[in-house]
Amino acid sequence: MIDFAECGWGYYLFDIEKALSLFEIGDEARPPNPAMRDAFFKGYERIRPLRRAYEQRLRVFLAIRFMVTMNYLLRSGNPHIRAEAPIWIPRFVDWLRRFLDQ
């Protein structure tokens, strides 16, 4: 599902990244799912081909998303949102470490 409240008039890969972020790290109910991510791009490219370097650019936007979300979790005045931090931040940090190692 696409959260259109998070999408905007910016670079299209940033909007795509939002739709795919949970496929990268999973959540409480679902593990990471690279097959769903691959299926998304296969379907997308039937309509519009992507430029060659889209994968690296997409990963940069994903890193930005994860850092922004960590900041939101840690700075929120809502205790219910802050309570999610111990669940999500280790996942984000693990993904970011792998990203930086590449």
Structure confidence at residue 67 (pLDDT) = 95
| In a domain? residue 34 | yes
| In a domain? residue 1 | no
Structure confidence at residue 7 (pLDDT) = 65
CB 8 within 8 A of CB 15: yes
Tens-digit pLDDT profile for residues 82-95: 999 999 999 999 99
Other CB atoms within 10 Å distance of the CB of residue 74: 11
φ/ψ (deg, to 5) at 2? -105, 130
| In a domain? residue 62 | yes
Tokens of residue 102, six digits:
């590449």
What is the pTM (predicted TM-score) of this model?
0.80
Query: Which residue numbers in the chain have pLDDT < 50?
Result: none
| In a domain? residue 29 | yes
Structure confidence at residue 26 (pLDDT) = 85
Write out the residue range of the structural domain in which residue 61 sits: 12-101
| In a domain? residue 2 | no
| In a domain? residue 64 | yes
Tens-digit pLDDT profile for residues 35-45: 998 999 999 99
Other CB atoms within 10 Å distance of the CB of residue 46: 8
Give the number of domains in the chain.
1
